Amino acid sequence: MLAEDDVVLMDMYTERLKSEGFNVVQAHDGEVALNSIKELHPQFIILDIMMPKMNGLDVLKAVKADAATKETPVIIATALVQDMSEIKKQLGPKDTYLIKSEVMPGDIIEIVKKTLNGGAATPVPTTSEADAA
Whether the per-residue pLDDT at 128 is higher than 90: the answer is no
**Phi and psi (nearest 5°) for 26?**
-105, 145
Task: Kindly indicate the confidence band of residue 25, based on its pLDDT and cuts at 50, 70 and 90.
Answer: very high
Q: How far apart are CA 76 and CA 120, in angstroms?
A: 11
Per-residue pLDDT, averaged over 8-16, amounts to 90
pLDDT above 90 coverage of the chain, percent: 35
- Nearest residue to 63 (alpha-carbon basis) of 86, 77, 50, 44: 44
Write down the pLDDT at residue 3.
94
Rounded distance, CA 94 to CA 82, Å? 22
pLDDT at residue 125, rounded to an integer: 41
Q: In this predicted structure, what is the pLDDT of residue 49?
A: 86
Q: Give residue limits of the domains in the chain.
A: 2-132
CB 95 within 8 Å of CB 74: yes
How confident is residue 1, by pLDDT bands cut at 50, 70 and 90?
A: very high
Other beta carbons within 10 angstroms of residue 128's beta carbon come to 11
pLDDT band at residue 118 under the 50/70/90 scheme: low
**Is 2-132 assigned to CATH 3.40.50.2300?**
yes
